[in-house]
Amino acid sequence: MSGTVQRDRNPEGRDRMPDSARPRLRALAFACALVLFSAPTVALADASATVSPAVTRSSVIVGVSDSAHMASVRVALEAAGGLIKKTYDWNAFLVSAPAGTDSTSFSRVAEGIEGVAYAQGNATLHAADATTDPRFDVQWGLPAIGAPAAWDLSQGAGVSVAVLDSGIDGLYSPDLEGPGQVVMDGQFNYISSGVTPMDYFGHGTHVAGIAAALRNNGVWGVGTAPQATLYAFKVLDDTGNGDDAVVADAIRDVVDKTPCKIISMSLGGSGDPGGGDPALAAAVAYAQSKGALVIAAAGNGTNDNGVPTTAPSYPAAIAGVIGVGAIDSNESLASFSNYGPVDEDLVAPGVTIYSTLPHNTFGAMSGTSMATPFVSGAAALVWSAHPSWNATQVAYMLENTAQDLGAAGVDVYYGHGLVRPDLALESTITPPISTPPATETISIASNGYSARLRAPFVLSGDLTPSTTGRALVVWVKKPGSGRWSYSSARLTYGSDGLAGALWWYRYTPILRGVYSFQAKFAGDETGLAATSRIITVSVR
């Protein structure tokens, strides 16, 4: 019988497990709407009121060839009807043009005066704000990932993102009401079949806004990829809970029924008590075979002492899924964020993140749920700029241009680091063309006391012969354990040009069951990094 993970715990601290339930998933966010803003009231002006316009005079900057001509030019400008507003010690005047004369016309008059080097309209300049959206000031996460700089190169146009969540309010939230911005189709409501996948919980709308809220529409904030298209897949109910079967079904529908290249899931669960999550893993593999990039929250799991753990959260722990952890505004791992080599590939802002909420409201939430759409939006920005790339190339670019945090190179707390779409878009790296790694299964016999495994790992990533002999970390998960531990090995370099490693594993007494191994080369000051496919070993 499969287990169940609920959103809350019983008084004894153990997860409730109803007898007939499938593995369940939940939204990975804390403190729904920590701060909630309602829509401002707008007063309409009295149509009968009349305002007399003030007389305005255009300003012109007149540059003089040298100081000797300053006096004569001043006289000539005044004779032409100009009003000297200011004299500069760098041989220039600021002049008001005659009433009714525009700056261009008066500039031509001024240029005809002897001693004038140039004349131009005094153009109005504005602060170089990233957006005119009024609450961008509280959205610290966007500058943290370099989104404003990225928008000069891409805004996600032409890329569709499937948001598997509690639905989206694309009907009453102005930041999500752009033409074709959010596709709300009843066939993608897995909670109430055929009904528009409206969000009554708030989580899905908040996630959607982080991913792709409109920019420069004068309403609330902005999203990471403001020109991307979102598809609402309602897989969580109005309390933020769902189950494996529903999500697995939705993942397959994304690639079979929509043009979505990116699947974003701010949800997770502990999987089957027997280990792993075969149903979700099969659905993810199917989506990957169709070219989709799958991104999921690493989880907000903690142990009995309230300390974040490396316990896997599914689907983030599934091979090939980009798992996303959360950081705070100090670029430190969030107190609630899961971490580890399985769940976490990248991190993104996830503490007090402001975004859209249903019915034209705006507020803050925290969680790895909030971090995930930053990465999904970043993927949309990169894919929009490089439409010929495949999912593996987009993932490679996001990971290899991430801002390193924590220990140098790929580490257990921050993975590859903070997602930086601006650096990904500015990079001249051409990511290698490859396919998602498969899972290998090997069977070995045991006498019950000891066993040895000689495991070859073929790694894909940024590697050259010069990496031979550098440190490689091999992670192993033992039967009945949700935790990964690690040892070390050495890299070798084969004649086929693929890096690999030999690693001898010994555990006494040996436990029969399924072991999982994955090699990860963390790199060094050169910035090299690579991972192997997961090898599943069945000990009988």
pLDDT (tens digit per residue) in 260-301: 999 999 998 876 655 567 788 888 888 988 999 999 999 887
Are the CB atoms for 160 and 346 separated by under 8 Å? no
State the pairing for strand pair 535-539/452-461. unpaired
Q: Which of 121, 147, 166 is the last residue of a domain?
A: 121
Rounded to whole angstroms, the Cα distance separating 538 from 443 reads 5
365 in the same domain as 223: yes
Segment 10-30, tens digit of pLDDT:
222 323 333 333 456 767 664
Opening angle at CA 221, ends 215 and 227, nearest 5: 30
Q: Measured between alpha carbons, how far is residue 540 from residues 6, 43, 449 in Å?
A: 33, 75, 12
243 in the same domain as 107: no
How far is C-alpha 498 from the geometric centre of its chain's CA atoms? 31
Answer whether residue 403 shows pLDDT above 70.
yes
Task: Clarify whether 386 is annotated catalytic.
Answer: no
How much of the chain, in percent, has pLDDT values that exceed 90?
A: 46
The dihedrals phi and psi of 340, each to the nearest 5 degrees, come to: 130, 165
Structure tokens at 447: 């006498």
Q: Which of 72, 104, 121 is the last residue of a domain?
A: 121
Q: Name the helix (H) or strand (E) containing 471.
A: strand 471-477
From 133, 165, 169, 199, active-site residue: 165
Q: Measured between alpha carbons, how far is residue 220 from residues 37, 41, 173, 213, 363 in Å?
A: 9, 14, 10, 9, 10
207 in the same domain as 85: no
Stretch 158-177: mean pLDDT, rounded? Answer: 94
Answer whether residue 126 shows pLDDT above 90.
no
Assigned domain for 89 exists: yes
Predicted local distance difference test score (pLDDT) of residue 409: 84
204 in the same domain as 301: yes
Name the DSSP class of 176: G
Residue with the larger pLDDT of the pair 450 and 136:
136
Structure tokens at 315: 């689907």
Rounded to whole angstroms, the Cα distance separating 320 from 434 reads 12
303 in the same domain as 163: yes
Assigned domain for 224 exists: yes
522 in the same domain as 452: yes
Confidence of residue 339 (pLDDT cuts 50, 70, 90): confident
Assigned domain for 64 exists: yes
475 in the same domain as 409: no
Structure tokens at 216: 């420069």
Answer whether residue 201 shows pLDDT above 50.
yes
Answer whether residue 508 shows pLDDT above 50.
no
How much of the chain, in percent, has pLDDT values that exceed 70?
A: 65
Predicted local distance difference test score (pLDDT) of residue 30: 47
> Collapsing DSSP states into helix, strand and coil, what is residue 143?
helix
> Can you name the residues that pair with 472 across neighbouring β-strands?
489
Nearest to 295, CA basis, from 389, 379, 384, 419: 379
What total of structural domains would you count in the chain? 3
Predicted local distance difference test score (pLDDT) of residue 349: 97
Are the CB atoms for 309 and 343 separated by under 8 Å? no
Place of tokens 């495949």: 390
> Collapsing DSSP states into helix, strand and coil, what is residue 212?
helix
Are the CB atoms for 501 and 489 separated by under 8 Å? yes
- The answer to which of 118-122, 321-325, 501-505 has the lowest mean pLDDT is 501-505
405 in the same domain as 266: yes
Structure tokens at 496: 């086929």
Segment 438-483, tens digit of pLDDT:
344 444 444 444 344 444 444 444 444 344 444 445 555 555 555 5
Assigned domain for 65 exists: yes
Nearest to 154, CA basis, from 394, 361, 384, 368: 384
At position 478, the amino acid (one-letter code) is K
Predicted local distance difference test score (pLDDT) of residue 180: 84
Are the CB atoms for 7 and 240 separated by under 8 Å? yes
Sorted by sequence, the CB contacts under 8 Å of residue 181 that are 6+ apart come out as 170, 212, 214, 229, 230
Assigned domain for 3 exists: no
Residue 391 CB burial class (10 angstroms; 0-12, 13-18, ≥19): buried
- The answer to which of 311-325, 337-351, 433-447 has the lowest mean pLDDT is 433-447
Answer whether residue 89 shows pLDDT above 80.
yes
Segment 47-76, tens digit of pLDDT:
222 233 333 457 889 999 999 999 999 999
Task: Clarify whether 203 is annotated catalytic.
Answer: yes
Predicted local distance difference test score (pLDDT) of residue 447: 44
The dihedrals phi and psi of 424, each to the nearest 5 degrees, come to: -65, -40
Stretch 246-252: mean pLDDT, rounded? Answer: 94
In terms of residue numbers, what domain contains 458?
A: 440-539
From 103, 203, 345, 460, active-site residue: 203
Rounded to whole angstroms, the Cα distance separating 517 from 472 reads 13
> Collapsing DSSP states into helix, strand and coil, what is residue 399?
helix
Q: Roughly how many angstroms between the first and final C-alpha of the chain, as a whole number? A: 22
Are the CB atoms for 504 and 457 separated by under 8 Å? no
Name the DSSP class of 53: P
- Helix, strand and coil content of the chain, in percent to the nearest 5, comes to 20, 25, 50
254 in the same domain as 219: yes
Assigned domain for 37 exists: no
Assigned domain for 16 exists: no
- The answer to which of 172-181, 213-222, 493-502 has the lowest mean pLDDT is 493-502
Assigned domain for 110 exists: yes
How far is C-alpha 173 from the geometric centre of its chain's CA atoms? 21
Nearest to 470, CA basis, from 452, 492, 451, 455: 492
291 in the same domain as 203: yes
Stretch 248-265: mean pLDDT, rounded? Answer: 96
Task: Clarify whether 243 is annotated catalytic.
Answer: no
Longest Cα pair distance anywhere in the chain, in angstroms?
A: 108
Going 241 to 243 to 244 to 250, the CA torsion angle's sign is: negative
Rounded to whole angstroms, the Cα distance separating 455 from 453 reads 6
Name the DSSP class of 30: B
Answer whether residue 308 shows pLDDT above 70.
no
When the pLDDT of each residue in the chain is averaged and rounded to a whole number, the result is: 75
281 in the same domain as 190: yes
E strands within 149-216? 160-165, 182-183
The dihedrals phi and psi of 393, each to the nearest 5 degrees, come to: -70, -40
Q: What is the CATH number of the domain that holds 470?
A: 2.60.40
Answer whether residue 198 shows pLDDT above 90.
yes
Q: How many CB atoms lie within 10 A of CB 12?
A: 5
Rounded to whole angstroms, the Cα distance separating 513 from 98 reads 91
From 103, 107, 173, 369, active-site residue: 369
Answer whether residue 354 shows pLDDT above 60.
yes
Q: What is the CATH number of the domain that holds 71?
A: 3.30.70
Q: Which of 105, 121, 137 is the last residue of a domain?
A: 121
